[in-house]
């Protein structure tokens, strides 16, 4: 029987999804991509889950890349299908209606960095290494790296990373805006979970609207984005959570959001 490539654990309203292939440095093969797609779909549908943390098993790697041993034998048509499989899964993560935090605990290379980039927030250990080394294999990023990286760090920095294939350390990634925070490796889990628990206490409908507005706005004109933001503002204003939040502010108390 094939071992499940993922571990999933719940800590209150925070679900931790761990890619669990440490012997392969958590490399992404077809089964792992499909399992991730199913796991994020399940998290999106589960009302008890408010935040998702994604990480890799073991101290060495978040995800070291796609599984080259599986990729090497692909035909061109099969390679395109493999790319589309990964792209669809990562798009699902990116469009999750709940915050997703990548806890980058080691190597995040190739498909691993692409997976981290589709998460909404990224916290990296100070020992992490990040990069897109596909060019050194005679390839290019196939899971959205050539599209998301310029949006995060700008075209010039993205081209340097993609064309050289050289990894960067966590400090450089923070400087470029590729990660949100860098913390000591021994504090990574504690600080990531602290942020996740804080987000889990927030207003779920408002956070979903923020995620939608930022993602949609980043893919359309400013005028269209502003119109979409106003529409979302009106929808959220009709929620019980919005009334509770404003009442709590006026009454100088902590709000109690119930996702309605």
pLDDT in tens, 3-26: 789 999 999 999 999 999 999 999
- Phi-psi bin for 180: left (phi > 0), alpha (psi -120 to 50), beta? alpha
State yes or no: is 114 an active-site residue.
Answer: yes
- Active-site hit among 31, 38, 114, 219: 114
Q: What is the mean pLDDT of residues 95-106?
A: 97
Residue 35: partners with Cβ closer than 8 Å, 6 or more residues away: 4, 5, 6
User: Contact 152/92 with Cβ under 8 angstroms?
Assistant: no
Provide the pLDDT confidence category of residue 260 given band limits of 50, 70 and 90.
confident
Which of 38, 78, 94, 134 is an active site residue? 134
User: Mean pLDDT, to the nearest integer, of 99-127?
Assistant: 97
**Residue 2: band (very low, low, confident or very high) from pLDDT cuts 50, 70, 90:** low
Q: How confident is the model at residue 244 (pLDDT cuts 50, 70, 90)?
A: confident
Asked whether the beta carbons of 104 and 62 are under 8 A apart, the reply is: yes
Phi-psi label, residue 12: left if phi above 0, alpha if psi -120 to 50, beta otherwise: left
pLDDT of residue 184: 97
- Say whether 190 is catalytic: no
- Phi, psi dihedrals of residue 135, rounded to the nearest 5°: -60, -30
Rounded CA separation 200/99 (Å)? 9
Q: 124 vs 218, which has greater pLDDT? A: 124
Delineate the domains of the chain, giving CATH numbers in brackets. 6-200 (3.90.226.10), 204-250 (1.10.12)
DSSP letter for 46, please.
Answer: -
Backbone angles phi, psi at 224, to 5 degrees: -65, -40
Instruction: Report whether 16 contacts 8 (CB < 8 A).
Output: yes
Residue range 180-191, pLDDT digits in tens? 999 999 999 999
pLDDT tens figures, 55-99 = 999 889 999 998 898 889 899 999 999 999 999 999 999 999 999
User: What's the whole-number average pLDDT of the chain?
Assistant: 94
């Amino acid at each position: 029987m094939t071992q499940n490539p993922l571990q999933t654990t719940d800590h209150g309203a925070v679900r931790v999804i761990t890619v669990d292939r440490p012997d392969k440095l958590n490399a992404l093969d077809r089964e792992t991509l499909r399992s991730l797609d199913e796991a994020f779909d399940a998290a999106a549908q589960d009302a008890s889950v408010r935040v998702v943390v994604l990480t890799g098993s073991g101290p060495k790697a978040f995800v070291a890349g796609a599984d080259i041993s599986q990729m090497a034998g692909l035909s061109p048509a099969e390679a395109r299908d493999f790319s589309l499989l990964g792209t669809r899964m990562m798009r699902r993560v990116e469009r999750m209606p709940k915050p997703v935090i990548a806890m980058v605990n080691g190597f995040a290379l190739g498909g691993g960095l692409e997976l981290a980039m589709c998460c909404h927030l990224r916290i990296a250990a100070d020992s992490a290494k990040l990069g897109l080394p596909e060019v050194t294999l005679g390839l290019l990023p196939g899971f959205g790296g050539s599209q998301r990286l310029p949006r995060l760090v700008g075209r010039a920095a993205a081209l340097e990373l993609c064309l050289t294939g050289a990894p960067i350390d966590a400090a450089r990634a923070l400087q470029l805006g590729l990660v949100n925070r860098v913390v000591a490796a021994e504090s990574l889990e504690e600080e990531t979970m602290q942020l996740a628990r804080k987000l889990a206490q927030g207003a779920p409908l408002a956070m979903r609207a923020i995620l939608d507005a930022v993602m949609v706005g980043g893919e359309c004109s400013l005028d269209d984005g502003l119109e979409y933001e106003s529409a979302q503002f009106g929808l959220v204003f009709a929620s019980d959570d919005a009334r509770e939040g404003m009442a709590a502010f006026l009454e100088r108390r902590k709000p109690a959001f119930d996702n309605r």
